[in-house]
Structure formats: structure tokens, C-alpha cells
Amino acid sequence: MFGGDIEDAAASVIYAVLTQDLGWRVDTLSRSWQAWDGRPMEIELFGRAEDPAHPGQPIWIVGEAKINLTARQVDRFATLAARARRHLSGRVFPLCFCYRARPEVQQRVVDSGLNLVFSFGRLVPAAP
């Protein structure tokens, strides 16, 4: 699995996690370009969801997919997630998808207010 293939795998796993574990209705997740702060940026996984417990309130899935997630990638994605929060109306659910992440990187994800989804389908929620 190389390059764009990871986004396809991530979209399937994330869809399953959000629908089965959280009970959300999730639209298609795909790569997207958004123009925020006057410059276009690529989002590896982007889509809309809704929590049936809060109908009519959009949840924006903004995700990053990496085979081996690093602290530098987490920091860069946290900046992108902050931009998304400023520009999207509704709840933003930022998440990192990966096959591997060292324990200190996993903690950095959570401490940065991001969610983590592993390739085997485990969701590690952001710190409250």
C-alpha cells in the first residue's frame, strides 16, 4: 500500500468506526482542497457526518492519514485542524489515521485535541 492507497483504507476504517462506535451517519470521506486563510490546502480525508442525537448539526470530519505517524506531522495537522475550526460552521472532528505511532506521538495527538484512529479500527478520543 503506497501513497493514495492509505486514504482509501483510512476512509473505510474511519467510516466503520464513526458509524458503529459513535452511531453517526457519515457521508463519503475523500481527499479535498479547501481555500482557508486565502490559500488552498489539501485535506487527505474530508466529509460531513451527523449525530442522530443532534439532528441538523453538521460534524465535519477533517483527517490526516499516515502509515507511521510522527510528532511533526501531528503538529502540522493540528494547525490545519485549527484553521478548519475557524472556517467551518458546525462541529469539527479532527482525526489522525495511522498504522503505527509511537506512544509519545499517540499522547501528542490526544493532547493536541485530535482524535486518533488506528488501522485496526480502534478510536482514541481527544483529551476533553
10 Å CB burial of residue 125 (0-12, 13-18, 19+) is middle
Whether the model pTM is above 0.75 = yes
Q: How confident is the model at residue 4 (pLDDT cuts 50, 70, 90)?
A: low
Average pLDDT over residues 56-66: 97
Average pLDDT over residues 50-58: 95
Average pLDDT over residues 33-57: 92
pLDDT above 90 covers a percentage of the chain that reads 89
**Going from the N-terminus, what domains does the chain have, and what CATH number goes with each?**
5-124 (3.40.1350.10)
Lowest mean pLDDT among 8-12, 36-40, 48-52, 105-109: 36-40
- Take residue 96 and report the three cell numbers written for it: 489522525
Q: In the predicted model, is pLDDT for residue 59 greater than 80?
A: yes
Average pLDDT over residues 94-122: 97
**By the 8 A CB rule, do 46 and 64 touch?**
no
10 Å CB burial of residue 49 (0-12, 13-18, 19+) is buried
Average pLDDT over residues 39-51: 94
Neighbours of 20 (CB within 10 A): 11
Q: In the predicted model, is pLDDT for residue 1 greater than 50?
A: no
Q: In the predicted model, is pLDDT for residue 5 greater than 90?
A: no
Chain-centre distance for alpha carbon 1? 20
